[in-house]
Amino acid sequence: MRRRLVLLLLAALAGCRANPYSASHLPYPPTPSDSKAAAKADPGSYPPAPIDLGRYRNWQWGMAIDEPLAGIVSAALDQRGLRPATEEAPATLELRVLQRTSIHQRQIYDEPAYGDGFAIYDRHAGYWGTTPVPVVRIVSFPVEVVQLELFDIHSGVRVWTGSGEAVRAGSGPASVTDSLRRAVAEALSSFPPP
């Protein structure tokens, strides 16, 4: 038994010494000169240059939208220095507005009044007590979602996009208009100042 163990140990050690890999002592390749590196640079791997939105002043609709939302968006863009296109000032931007109503759900936990729940009796301590059980409700509520996209009128490239959402407080037209106004304000909150 001892002899087998010694032979097995020697075979394992012999296997460890046989390394199939050999180290090569080749030097690292030289660093390319600046002209060679610039010629091989991939322009797609760098982020694009930031777009100067200050050169855009006038916009036109890229699609038809409902009147309350059109007035809200037009007024909000006017506050940020963008004006609707006229014959004297042709459009440099095309505006597309996407609007939808989304139904969100939320769980609400209501704490019960004192005494509601289930009873606990501990026979060792000798007391009765109640542990309140929360009541769980699922509440659905509408959310207005607005997405604004600005495209360069000549190249067709999207130069800016923003989205916002606002919870609708009621069911009347005034609450819909108010939630649309808040959603447009949130969408334009990331728009750079003029």
Question: Are 104 and 141 a contacting pair, CB within 8 Å?
Answer: yes
Does some domain include residue 166? yes
Interior angle at CA 162, CA 157 and CA 163, nearest 5: 135
CA distance 60 to 55: 15
Q: Please state, as a whole number, how many other Cβ atoms lie within 10 Å of the Cβ of residue 180.
A: 24
pLDDT digits (tens, 9 = 90+) for 67-107: 889 999 999 999 998 999 999 999 999 999 999 999 999 88
Domain count, the chain: 1
Helix (H, G, I), strand (E, B) or coil at 158: strand
Share of the chain above pLDDT 70, in %: 69
What does the pLDDT average to over 11-32? 65
* Residue 98, domain CATH: 3.30.160.670
Does some domain include residue 190? yes
CA distance 16 to 5: 17
pLDDT of residue 124: 58
Does some domain include residue 128? no
CA distance 161 to 90: 21
CA distance 127 to 129: 7
Does some domain include residue 132? no
